[in-house]
């Protein structure tokens, strides 16, 4: 990509966003960290690198190719004119996080299914039209999406008013002290690691019911029913108890091929005013993790 005029002392990530107006500064930083930008013939991976007017910058980025989001197929559990329920695989993002991202997500898959009125509310390659709630990238399982504006409003209201019942299954390290209990501990953002959360007195009310289904003395299969919907709630609560989810290295879990957290059931009232329970089968690897 050809150079544009630069300013003495300008940050490299600022220059990249000027050179490619369609990307955010956060995405520019990702390009730099990935080794896609060179200064005077050498790869520069520091976003804050200060430029000089004589520098020659080359950006390895094909804007046309990057705009093409690959197609993915997601397993459909249920679908009608108002909504679609999917069995989200682990490793798939619910939606992109405020930056241009050519990665396929639930939101990009959903785009062809939503009604035009809903699609028009959130345009662009990273739109969130139809997304009612989210599962972390590493979490698999049942997830409901809206296809119409009225359906999205109806479903989001249920989540906000805690009229949705969610059941998760996790494999955790060790054996919990009590076979079943309620974890009632407030959760707040961790100021030392802003991308994570922690139990803290200044946090929001967070409640999780759990029940141990089985254990082999080293790992335990646990049923979790969050009564609130805080970000990373289950992961934070289990980490605080000293029994992190296997594979959840962000919160102290032992390394594994995936994070062993699965959204097993979702009970709610559909936009058609029917109370339904949607289920996603537990991956076989969860049982294998316990039985060894």
Can you give the residue ranges of every domain in the chain?
Answer: 12-66, 69-161, 164-292
Among the ranges given (24-28, 50-54, 147-151, 153-157), the one the predictor scored with the smallest mean pLDDT? 24-28
CB-based contact 104:92 (threshold 8 Å): yes
Name the one residue in this structure whose structure tokens are 């990373």. 232
3-state secondary structure 126-163: CCCCCECCCCCCCCEEEEEEECCHHHHHHHHHHHHCCC
Mean model confidence pLDDT for the chain: 89
Those residues with Cβ within 8 angstroms of residue 224's Cβ, 6 or more apart along the chain or in another chain:
167, 168, 169, 170, 208, 209, 210, 234
Q: What CATH number does domain 69-161 carry, 3.30.980.10, 3.90.800.10, 3.30.2350.10, 1.10.3720.10?
A: 3.30.2350.10
Pairing of strands 140-146, 261-269: parallel
Partner residues linked to 169 by β-bridges = 223, 262
- Enter the pTM of the model: 0.77
The pLDDT of residue 20 is 84
Catalytic residue list contains 216: no
* 122 pLDDT tier (thresholds 50, 70, 90): low
Tally of helices (H runs) and strands (E runs) in the chain:
8, 14
Among the ranges given (25-29, 95-99, 154-158, 245-249), the one the predictor scored with the smallest mean pLDDT? 95-99
Q: Which CATH class is domain 164-292?
A: alpha beta
Catalytic residue among 136, 184, 190, 248: 136
Q: At what angle do helices 25-33 and 12-19 cross, to 10 degrees?
A: 110
**Same fold flag, 12-66 and 69-161:** no
Q: Which CATH class is domain 12-66?
A: alpha beta
The pLDDT of residue 124 is 47
pLDDT tens figures, 167-196: 999 999 999 999 999 999 999 999 999 899
The pLDDT of residue 257 is 94
pLDDT tens figures, 103-113: 789 988 998 88
Main-chain phi, psi angles of 64, to 5 degrees: -70, -45
Mean pLDDT within 196-205: 96
Nearest to 227 by CA among 143, 274, 167: 167
pLDDT tens figures, 2-22: 457 777 889 999 998 888 887
Read off the tokens for 284: 């076989």
* 97 pLDDT tier (thresholds 50, 70, 90): low
10 Å Cβ neighbour count for 130? 29
């Amino acid at each position: 990509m050809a150079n544009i005029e630069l300013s003495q002392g300008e940050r490299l990530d600022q220059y990249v966003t000027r050179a490619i107006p369609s990307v955010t500064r956060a995405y520019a930083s990702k390009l730099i960290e990935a080794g896609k930008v060179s200064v005077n013939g050498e790869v520069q991976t520091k976003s804050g690198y200060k430029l000089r007017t004589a520098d020659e910058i080359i950006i390895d980025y094909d804007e046309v190719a990057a705009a093409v989001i690959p197609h993915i197929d997601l397993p459909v559990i249920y679908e009608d004119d108002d909504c679609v329920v999917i069995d989200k695989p682990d490793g798939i993002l619910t939606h992109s996080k405020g930056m241009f991202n050519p990665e396929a997500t639930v939101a990009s898959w959903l785009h062809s299914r939503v009604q035009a009125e809903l699609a028009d509310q959130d345009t662009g390659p990273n739109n969130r039209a139809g997304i009612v709630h989210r599962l972390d990238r590493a979490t698999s399982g049942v997830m409901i999406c809206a296809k119409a504006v009225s359906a999205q409003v109806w479903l989001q209201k249920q989540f906000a008013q805690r009229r949705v019942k969610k059941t998760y299954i996790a494999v955790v390290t060790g054996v919990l002290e009590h076979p079943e209990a309620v974890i009632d501990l407030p959760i707040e953002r961790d100021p030392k690691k802003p991308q994570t959360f922690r139990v803290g007195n200044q946090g929001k009310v967070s409640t999780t019911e759990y029940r141990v289904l089985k254990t082999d003395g080293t790992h335990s299969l646990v049923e979790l029913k969050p009564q609130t919907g805080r970000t990373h709630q289950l992961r934070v609560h289990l980490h605080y108890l000293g029994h992190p989810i296997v594979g959840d290295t962000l919160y102290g879990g032992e390394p594994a091929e995936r994070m062993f957290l699965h959204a097993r059931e979702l009970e709610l009232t559909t936009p058609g005013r029917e109370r339904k329970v949607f289920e996603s089968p537990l991956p076989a690897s969860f049982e294998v993790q316990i039985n060894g």
